[in-house]
Amino acid sequence: MGKSRLEAFSDGVIAIIITIMVLEMKAPHGSELADLLPVAPTFLTYILSYVYVGLYWNNHHHLFHVVQRVSGSVLWANLHLLFWLSLVPFVTHWLGENHFTAWPTALYGIVLFMAAMAYYILTRTLLAVHEEGGNAKLATALGRDAKGKLSVVAYALAIGLAFVVPAVSLALYALVAAVWLIPDRRIEHVLKS
């Protein structure tokens, strides 16, 4: 089956996720610059979450340039990814409102961890569909996925550290996002060949 409906649905869900995140941010009472300080944690968490959702949208977009067809299992794997991404506004709000305390920091990491696992499941499901048709482009584009595997390890470490030093967990979440901001050209190279 074709991939256009899956891409359109995913784009719509991700746009709604970003919209919900920004609507959760409340303007401070008062008109002085100092009045922004109490909402700084919420704003910083929003920035990090916006980057993460943007990274997933970007990688999803690039991934589906190489994909030729989808199956029912791909649709379910994609819905699984979207489920975890749809929780980002909730954990973003909870983390920001509670100024980076242990449980909100850990739950934020759990959602990031599960989204990464869901993306991995999606890529493996797509690989299985494309191996049946003999298309090696997707396998070449995905490669060994070292960044994806290291990200999952960093999330797991950060979740545990949330109960010891939440600031280190947040730094790890930001570091993983920064690593993913560096463009991965594998898919673009495959498309050019």
Q: Which two tokens stand for residue 97?
A: 């409102």
pTM recorded for the entire structure: 0.92
What torsion do the CA atoms of 36, 39, 44, 50 make, to the nearest 10 degrees? -110
Residue type (1 letter), 25? M
Question: Considering Cα of 189, then 78, then 88, then 113, what sign does the dihedral take?
Answer: negative
**DSSP string of the chain, one letter each residue:** --SHHHHHHHHHHHHHHHHHHHHH--PPSSSSGGGGGGGHHHHHHHHHHHHHHHHHHHHHHHHHHH-----HHHHHHHHHHHHHHHTHHHHHHHHHHTTT-HHHHHHHHHHHHHHHHHHHHHHHHHHHHHHHTT--HHHHHHTT-HHHHHHHHHHHHHHHHTTT-HHHHHHHHHHHHHHHHS---HHHHHHH-
pLDDT at 136: 72
pLDDT at 51: 98
pLDDT at 190: 67
Q: In the chain, which stretches have pLDDT less than 70?
A: 132-135, 189-193
Instruction: Return the residue matching tokens 């920004």.
Output: 22
What are the extents of the domains in the chain? 4-192
Instruction: Return the residue matching tokens 């790890």.
Output: 172
pLDDT at 135: 63
